[in-house]
Amino acid sequence: MNSEQVISLLRTILQVLGGVLVTKGILTQAEVSSSLDQLMVIVGSMMTLGATAWSLYTRRKAGLVSSAASLKEVSGVELTDATLARDAKRSVGDSATVRLFTDRGLMPLDNEGRPFLPKR
């Protein structure tokens, strides 16, 4: 469902609820209409803030690297930042190789995101 469909569904549910409240005599038609408009403004604002927060979260460095590493066309990622490498490895698991450039050279990471020397 996209945001337009969610808003439409929510509006329909609220209209039905408003109809029930008017039918029972709990609210008047004017009160329901006013409350519905205010609620839709609040819900719309919350959805916009939520979408913005999600967008910022997924576009941080670790999110971008993890997204790229999880693509089936990507066989591995090489990073210079240990924290970023650890987060990427935890995110992709065994689906991609994540290696870290260290003072001892290029080192693969285990599933916990720690550099290790492969057995020879």
Taking only the tens of pLDDT, the chain with its 120 residues reads: 666 677 778 778 887 887 887 788 887 878 878 877 887 788 778 877 888 887 788 778 877 887 777 777 877 788 888 888 888 877 777 777 788 877 777 777 777 777 776 565
Range of the domain at 52: 3-58
Asked whether residue 14 is assigned to any structural domain, the reply reads yes
Give the pLDDT score at 39: 78
Q: pTM here? A: 0.47
How far is Cα 15 from Cα 20, in angstroms, rounded to an integer? 9
Identify whether the C-beta of residue 48 lies closer than 8 Å to the C-beta of residue 54. Answer: no
- Quote the pLDDT of residue 117: 63
User: Looking at the domain assignment, is residue 45 inside a domain?
Assistant: yes
Q: Is 114 among the domain residues?
A: no
User: Residue 95 region, left (φ>0) first, then alpha (ψ -120 to 50), else beta?
Assistant: alpha
- Asked if residue 53 and residue 37 are part of one domain, the reply reads yes
The verdict on residue 104 lying in a domain is yes
